Structure 1
Amino acid sequence: MTAHLLPGQAAAPEGPADLSMMYALHHGFRRDLARFHEAVLRTPLAQAGTWQALLERWDLFALLLHDHHHKEDEHLWPLLRGRVDAGGDAEGARVLDAMEDEHARIDPLLEAVRSGFGSLAGGPSETGRHGLVADLEQVRELLGAHLGHEERDAIAILQRYVPGDEWAQVERAKFRGGLGPRDLLRLVPWCLEGLPPQVASGLLTAAGPPFRVVLWLGRGRFHRLERAAFAFVPEGVGA
C-alpha cells in the first residue's frame, strides 16, 4: 500500500501493510514538538496558568510517545527481528538495533523537559526558559531523526516481511490497547489534530463508529487544553 506523505514525514515505503495510523501518530509527535518549542519561546513568563497548561499538555505528549515506543519495543521489533534473522538479513538487523538504541536515547530526555515545564509553572525564570528551549531542541532533533529513520528503513522492513492481513491483526491486538478510558478520550482528538481533512476522514472511516464516539466525547476537553497551552503560538505552527 502506498500512503501520501504527511507534513514532515520522511517516507512511506510501498507494501501490503496499511500504516496510516502509525504515520498519524508520527505527525502528532512532530506537530507537538513544533508547538511546544514556539510556546516556550513566546509565552510570557508571568502567565502561570499557561505554563501549567503546557505542563499538563506535555504529560499527554510524553504518555502517548512512551506508549508508542513501548508497543514497538514489546511487539513490533521482536516480530521483525524474527523475520530478518530467519532471512539472514544483516542490514535489517542493524536497523532494528538502531531503533532500540534511539528509543533508549530519547525516552530519558522527556523527564528533563517535564522538569523544565514544572519549574516555569512554579515561577518565572528566564534561565529556566533557556534551559527548557535547549532540552526541547534536543528532543526534537533526536525524535525527528528517529521518526525519519523508522519511516525510511524500519517500515520498509515491515512491508517486506509482514503481510497486510497479519499487520492489521497485530495492530488491532497489540497497538490499540494499553491506555485507560480517560487517556483514550484524549488520544483520539490528539491523533486527528491538524491532519489533512481527507486523511482524518479516512482514519475515522477505517476505525469505525466507536472511534467517532470517543472523538465526540473527548474533543471538547482536548481542545480546551490545546487553547490554554498554546495560547501564544501562532496558528499553523506544526501543521
Structure 2
Amino acid sequence: MTAVLPRPLVPTPRASSEPTTRSTPAVAYQRVLHQAVRREFRMLADLASWAPADDTARTADLTGHADLLSRVLLQHHATERELLWPALFRNLPAREQDAARDAIGYWTSRAALLDHMLRDLSTVARQWAVAGTLPARNAFARACTRVADTVEAHLAAEERDLLPLLSRYLPTSEWRAVSRAATTTLTGREQLLVLGLALEDASAIDRARLMAGLSPATRTAWRVIGRRTYRAAVVRLRGAPPAA
C-alpha cells in the first residue's frame, strides 16, 4: 500500500524578479533544470527515510525516480561537456579564456565525481529493490543525501563561475544549435515528466523562456497529456500535488 506523507512536500514557485545573472534562453534552461534536480534529490532523501523498507511498490516508485533523475543529470553533463562549454569557449573574448578554462576544468572534475556518485546510487537502489530490508533502504536514503549535497555544491559553483559567461557571451543562435544537437535516451513520457519538474517552481520569466524554446508539438503534448500525467506522478510519489 502506498504510504501517505505526514506533511506535504510542495515546492513554492520562485518570484519572477530577475536574478543578478541576465536571463537568456541558455541561462533560463540551466537555472530551471538545476533547481529541479536540487529539489528532487533532497526530497527523495526525505521520502526514502520513512518509506516502508519492504513495500515493493513504494520502493519501485522511489528508486525509479532516482534512476530518472540520475539519467537526466548524466545526459545533461554530457551535453555540457561535449556541446555547451565548447560553444561558449568559441565565443569568449581572449581576455576571458584563461579564467574560463580554469572554471571549466574545475567543473569537469566535479562533474566526474558526481557522475560516479549517480552510478553508485543506481547500484544502491537496485540493492534495496532486491533485498527489501531496512539497512538497504537506509543505505539508499543516505546515498540520496550524499548526492543531494554534492549536487548543491556542484551547481552552486557552476552558477557562480559559468552561467555569467553564458549570459554575456553565448549567442542565442549557438544555444539553439546546442539544443538541436543534444540527444536523449528518455522516452516521450519521461521527457514530459522532466518538463514538469523543471516548470514546477520556476519563476514566471524562466517558465516562459523554457516553454518558448519547446517545439509546438511538445507544447501541445504538455497541454493535452503532460500536465495531467505529471500531476498524477507527483501525487503518487509525494502524496501531495505539484505547486503549479
Over residues 142-200 of structure 1, what are the superposed CA-to-partner deviations in whole Å (9 max), with x where a residue is unaligned? 1111111111111122233323x33443344234x434534333332232234356643
Tell me whether 1:169 sits opposite 2:200 in the alignment: no
Q: Quote the offset at 1:112 in angstroms.
A: 1.9
Task: Give 1:57's aligned residue.
Answer: 65
Query: 2: CA distance between counterparts of 1:143 and 1:93?
Result: 21
Equivalent of 1:40, from 33, 48, 58?
A: 48
Task: Give 1:142's aligned residue.
Answer: 150
Query: 2: CA distance between counterparts of 1:161 and 1:207?
Result: 22
> What does 1:140-219 correspond to in 2, within 5 Å?
140-163=148-171, 165-175=172-182, 177-179=183-185, 180-196=187-203, 199-201=206-208, 203-205=210-212, 207=214, 209-215=216-222, 216-219=224-227
Secondary structure of the structure 2 residue equivalent to 1:14: coil
Query: 1: CA distance between counterparts of 2:123 and 2:162?
Result: 32
Structure 1 residues 127 and 12, CA, compared in 2 at 3 Å: closer, same or farther? farther
Query: 2: CA distance between counterparts of 1:68 and 1:119?
Result: 26
Q: Structure 1 regions of 5+ residues with no counterpart?
A: none
Secondary structure of the structure 2 residue equivalent to 1:70: helix
TM-score, structure 1 normalization: 0.79
Q: What fraction of aligned residue pairs are identical, expressed as a percent? A: 20
Query: 2: CA distance between counterparts of 1:154 and 1:111?
Result: 25
Secondary structure of the structure 2 residue equivalent to 1:13: coil
Please say if residues 84 and 178 of structure 2, whose CA atoms lie closer than 8 Å, have aligned partners that are also in contact. Answer: no
Secondary structure of the structure 2 residue equivalent to 1:19: helix
Letter in 2 for 1:186: L
Of 92-101 and 74-83, more deviation after overlay is shown by 74-83
> What does 1:8-23 correspond to in 2, within 5 Å?
12-14=20-22, 18-23=26-31
Q: Structure 2 regions of 5+ residues with no counterpart?
A: 1-12
Over residues 8-48 of structure 1, what are the superposed CA-to-partner deviations in whole Å (9 max), with x where a residue is unaligned? xxx65237665212211111101111210111112122322
Please say if residues 186 and 218 of structure 1, whose CA atoms lie closer than 8 Å, have aligned partners that are also in contact. Answer: yes
Tell me whether 1:104 sits opposite 2:112 in the alignment: yes
What is the aligned residue count?
227
Pairwise CA RMSD of aligned residues? 3.1
Please say if residues 40 and 133 of structure 1, whose CA atoms lie closer than 8 Å, have aligned partners that are also in contact. Answer: yes
Query: 1: CA distance between counterparts of 2:108 and 2:95?
Result: 20
Please say if residues 189 and 219 of structure 1, whose CA atoms lie closer than 8 Å, have aligned partners that are also in contact. Answer: yes
Query: 1: CA distance between counterparts of 2:29 and 2:58?
Result: 30
Please say if residues 37 and 136 of structure 1, whose CA atoms lie closer than 8 Å, have aligned partners that are also in contact. Answer: yes
Equivalent of 2:103, from 91, 95, 118?
A: 95
